[in-house]
Amino acid sequence: MRLAEKERLSLFSGTALKWIALVLMTVDHFGLIFYGFFPFSVYRLLRCIGRLSFPIFAFSTAEGFRYTKNRRAYVLRLLVLGGLIQLAYFLFAKSLELNIFFTLALSTLFILLYEKALADKRMIVLFVGSVALAFVPCHLLSGFYGFSVSYGLFGALLPLFACIGKEKWQRLLSFGVGCVLLCLSTVTAPLGAWQWFCLLALPILALYNGKAGKHRFKYFFYLYYPLHLVLLWGLMLLLSSWR
């Protein structure tokens, strides 16, 4: 394929992918928070559309962690924001489900250990051991006093699949396998049957051009998550008081 043809088929920068994921996530959370305000068919549609958001965020995390100039700061941002959101979850909803930022922080650990294992075969044991150890909180302890990890072990592993392979099509194929494994791992979950819609994110990711984008809005994407939840919950409570 000619270079010009490749460029025409590569429409989205990394920033554009984040914007797409942001919109899809908002649609998903709108359906979740306003459940009961509309027919179940509408709720199901919104949640199915929302299934596309996590794979795009996972892919973006893999790309961001691979190319960031400061990996320590990258992970620290995930952990700090995850901790603040988790505190709010517990205070207002008494929830012990670890939010998505902790899942993605665990993903960066897997990517780091995978890279080390590629460079030094002796590190393979450490990499495999870390995945096995993560199985305990992600699955064995899931449901214990309401504890769970958002998207589970295969959700945390998903960004790693985006790092396997040298060519774009190889990474995309590997990522697709990761998405299938994620769907299979959540088959018994409340939204398990709808999780398969996440595969529709793959054509969008296929249009990724490998560039970060001119305007990255780095901190906006981090802050949008808690802010949009506060706004949606506030609006729902306001509308509920009028019903």
Taking only the tens place, the pLDDT of each residue in 180-209 is: 999 998 877 777 789 999 999 999 999 999
Q: What is the pLDDT of residue 216?
A: 67
Which residues does the chain have with pLDDT short of 50? 3-5
Q: What is the pLDDT of residue 3?
A: 46
| The total number of structural domains that make up the chain | 1
- Residues ≥6 apart with Cβ < 8 Å to 22: 53, 221, 224
* Measured distance CA(157)–CA(162) in Å, rounded: 9
Which residues span the domain enclosing 32?
A: 3-242
165: left (phi over 0), alpha (psi -120 to 50) or beta: left
In the chain, where does DSSP find H-type helix? 3-8, 14-33, 40-50, 53-67, 71-93, 100-119, 124-135, 152-161, 168-185, 201-206, 218-242
- Report the chain's terminal Cα–Cα distance, integer Å: 58
Q: What is the dihedral of CA 193, 199, 200, 203, to 10 degrees?
A: -170
Q: What is the pLDDT of residue 5?
A: 46
And the tokens for 18?
A: 């984040």
